[in-house]
Amino acid sequence: MQSLSPRARALGAAVLCLVIAVVAGLAVDSRLDRHWILRGLTVFLAVCCASLLLTDQTRRLRQIVTAIGLAMFGLIIPVSQTTWSKPPEIKFALQVATDAKQAAEKASSSTVTVADVKAAAEARGGGVGSLPTEKNTQVRGADAFPMIVRAKRDQGRPWACVSFSHGMTATVRPC
């Protein structure tokens, strides 16, 4: 059995890393802000590294540098973005969005209201809106979308913003 040529191994590594980059980008919950610009840039850089790896087989150092670039942009960055995309406050906000949508559907409503989100957050032990402080006594994000959702009722930051567009489509992002 013959071993694979360096060009075939490079092509296999390039295809594998690009598939991982695309799958990792699509694995994130669709309600989250997926950072498409950063993900697109990493896929583009992975493609550039793969093309350099495939076309230039002359210098060993250049092969090593492009292989490291391919691993970074095609594997490490996309996987880490996917893994770190749901900190606890985002997970809580996603649960609240799901509960609010279910409450609106149960009430035969065509839109999720601010009251639905507030009730869902409070039912899970959280709070809505920013906490008043000595500097800023005004509560923000409690009466209109995007709403600030806190995982604990008496905790300030970190929090997440939840908004609903087109009635039932949730969007969750850090705020």
pLDDT, tens digit, 9 for 90 and up, residues 29-88: 666 655 667 777 777 887 777 777 777 666 777 777 777 877 787 777 777 776 666 677
CA within 13 Å, CB half, 45: 20
Residue 84 backbone zone (phi > 0: left; psi -120 to 50: alpha; other: beta): alpha
1: confidence class by pLDDT, cuts 50, 70, 90: very low
Angle, helix 60-71 to helix 6-26, in steps of 10 degrees: 20
Across 89-136, where does the E strand assignment appear? 127-128
Taking all residues of the chain, what is their mean pLDDT, rounded to a whole number?
78
Is the pTM for the entire model greater than 0.85? no
pLDDT at 165: 81
